[in-house]
Amino acid sequence: MQIKDLVPWAHKEKVPEGKTENDSPITSLQREMNRVFEDFWGRLDRPTGPFDWTWDKSGTRADVVETDDAVELSIELPGMEMKDIDLTVSDDLLTLKGEKKVERKEEKKGYYLSERSYGSVYRTVPLPPGVDSDKAEASFKNGVLTVKVPKTEEAQAKLKRIEVKPA
């Protein structure tokens, strides 16, 4: 065997006897690396915007909505309790830190069950200019954290409606 036999693109038309192209560990590695890069670049092309940037499929999702008088965020935190959440806000950033630790043990005749679930969350959401971080409010219900950061009077006064006319 020569080194060129290990490189899948060097022998596209000639596969060694008794082997298929899919049998090569190099081909498998190349396919997996392509998938990793496609997933990475696919994240940048998503139309949902930067708030959808998560590194794994179980990442924390946040809905951010700007209304006339506030910026409202809804963040899913399944399995967490209020005591597990640390929320801070500055003039232009909302930062969420959270950690869940769930342990369950069950013993019955004939079997023993022990389950553990751990996870942590760290999200920083940029806030638009003109919010009043001193008046931010948060509530937590059924695993969903809702945060409302009102806009300042000046920011609300600058809001101007534009009439849309038919062409």
Tell me the pLDDT tens digit for each residue of 23-69: 677 887 888 888 887 776 665 555 544 444 444 444 677 888 888 88
Q: What is the pLDDT, as a whole number, of residue 54?
A: 44
CA distances from 77 to 72, 85, 140, 149, 159 (A): 16, 9, 9, 19, 33
Whole-prediction pTM value?
0.54
Q: Is 3.20.20.70 the CATH number for 57-157?
A: no
Low-confidence ranges of the chain (pLDDT < 70): 1-23, 40-59, 91
Q: What is the pLDDT, as a whole number, of residue 153?
A: 81
Q: What is the pLDDT, as a whole number, of residue 78?
A: 81
Residue 152: name the closest of 64, 63, 71, 89 by CA.
71
Instruction: Give the start-to-end residue ranges of the domains of the chain.
Output: 3-44, 57-157
Kindly state the tokens that stand for 136. 């931010």
Q: What is the pLDDT, as a whole number, of residue 45?
A: 54
Q: What is the pLDDT, as a whole number, of residue 146?
A: 93
Q: What is the pLDDT, as a whole number, of residue 147?
A: 93
Q: What is the pLDDT, as a whole number, of residue 74?
A: 92
Name the strand (E) or helix (H) holding 157.
helix 153-157
